[in-house]
Copies of this chain bind each other. A is one copy, B any other.
Amino acid sequence: MTSQNPVFIPGPTNLPEVLRKAIDMPTIDHRSPVFGEILKPALDGVKKVLKTTKGQVFLFPATGTAGWEVALSNTLSAGDKVLAARNGMFSHRWIDMCQRHGLDVTIVETPWGDGIPADRFAEILKGDTGHQIKAVLATHNETATGVKSDIAAVRRAMDDAGHPALLFVDGVSSIGSMDFRMDEWGVDVAVTGSQKGFMLPPGLAITGFSPKAIEAIGQATLPRTYFDIRDMMGSYSKNSFPYTPPVGLINGIKVASDMLLAEGLENVFDRHHRIAEGVRQAVSAWGLKLCATSPKVYSDTVSAIYVPDGFDANQVVGHALKTYGVAFGTGLGEVAGKAFRIGHLGQLSDVLALSGIATAEMVMADLGLPVKLGSGVAAAQEHYRQTAVGTQRKAA
């Protein structure tokens, strides 16, 4: 009898009622004009969420991982050099994808818990006087560690070096939840998925391409058909799709964008920050540490929390599911077994965040961790109370 418990994984998020209905559509003819009335506002809505007026948006029936491949295969050729930092499981996987596509990756190994070292990027880019590096890859929010990187700083590093490489940003767990500025930060390809800030089920890779990235297509020789944005561009111009589109999900993107924009993106970001900060207050009250090493890299969509030495973070996650019917995230890669994660993105309310915090407390007490029942809850409650006035905006 626990199916109504919210999930506390860092995506897919809990589904807002309105979006659940938006995607639950009877079949329509995707070759009829009705489809254009869904596709066009969906694309326009995503542009606004990405804060781009110059870029173009492409939606692929796929996941965020495919979005990485869309970025690479449309703009690069085998043997091309790219620059990336490895500071968590998702940056690691993107690097792996580059290598499997025959790209030559300059990897900046970075402590898991730190953000992208923009200064190190600057040095490397300055040293690349021949401009062999064709693309810089940046993971905006490392979902594995709850670490946010400073994309504006990466852009500055590129500009300071006068380097013409493209800037690809994985915003899978940031876009629509945390501050993201495609045009202002000079992002050439932005990647996200339907199941995070857009609060939908997985099934759409969402990508934004700058004019410069679109220009790069001509020279790119990595093979692609399903992920070829030329086919998308051609079809979009006729309000159609190069293959059968998932109409319901695209309608979901339209409605989700409307929701986010009606609430106001800055309000959406503030709301996420408020919920996240409550979770962090709880962590602090428990005497535990975040993977994220400093406030400036704290993620507002997910917190990865170290358990004390001698305890197994995977047990926390397993026990929570089995005993209380609550899903937290396990640690991944280097922090597997050492940390567990509380996802707090999407429409999660303060009230539901408290149920997650309370559950984590019960679980840790059950497993013998030195955590006082109610302590984290009280810290979070205090934060939510202090910040409650005027923060309960209605978006759905």
User: Which A residues are closer than 8 A to B by beta carbons?
Assistant: 1-7, 9, 11-18, 20-21, 24, 26-32, 60-66, 68-69, 73, 78, 96-97, 100-102, 193, 195, 201-203, 222-228, 242-249, 263, 271, 321-327, 329-330, 347-352, 354-355, 358-359, 361-362, 365-366, 372-375, 377-378, 381-382, 384-385, 388-389, 392-396
Contacts and interface: CB of A to CB of B under 8 A. Distances in A.
B365 A202 contact: no
29 contacts: A1-B392, A1-B396, A3-B26, A7-B28, A9-B29, A9-B31, A11-B244, A14-B27, A32-B327, A61-B202, A64-B243, A69-B226, A96-B225, A97-B225, A97-B226, A195-B244, A202-B246, A203-B203, A324-B350, A324-B351, A326-B351, A351-B355, A351-B359, A354-B358, A354-B377, A358-B358, A362-B384, A372-B378, A373-B382
Contacts of A226: 62-63, 65-66, 69, 97, 227
A1 B347 contact: yes
Given A11-B244, A61-B202, A61-B203, 8 more contacts: A31-B330, A61-B61, A62-B62, A65-B243, A324-B392, A351-B358, A358-B381, A362-B385
A223 B225 contact: no
Contacts of A227: 226
Given A381-B362, A393-B1, A7 B20 contact: no
A385 B366 CA distance: 7
Interface of A (DSSP majority class): loop
A27 B347 CA distance: 13
B352 A359 contact: no
A373 B378 contact: yes
B327 A203 contact: no
Contacts of A31: 9, 327, 329-330
Contacts of A361: 381
A362 B381 CA distance: 6
A283 to B, nearest CB: 15
Contact of A201 (B27, B381, B392): B27
The 7 closest A-B pairs by CB, nearest first: A374-B378, A29-B327, A374-B374, A355-B355, A65-B243, A354-B358, A373-B378
Nearest to A332: B31
B381 A365 contact: yes
A1 B394 contact: yes
Contacts of A14: 4, 26-27
Contact of A355 (B66, B73, B246, B354): B354
Contacts of A348: 4
Nearest to A225: B97
A374 to B, nearest CB: 3
Contacts of A243: 63-66
A11 B30 CA distance: 10
Query: Which of A18, A244, A247, A366 gathers most chain B CB within 10 Å?
Result: A244
A69 B225 contact: yes
Contacts of A30: 12
A4 B6 contact: yes
A359 to B, nearest CB: 5
A62 B392 CA distance: 36
A271 to B, nearest CB: 7
Q: Which of A222, A325, A330, A354 has the most CB of B within 10 A?
A: A354
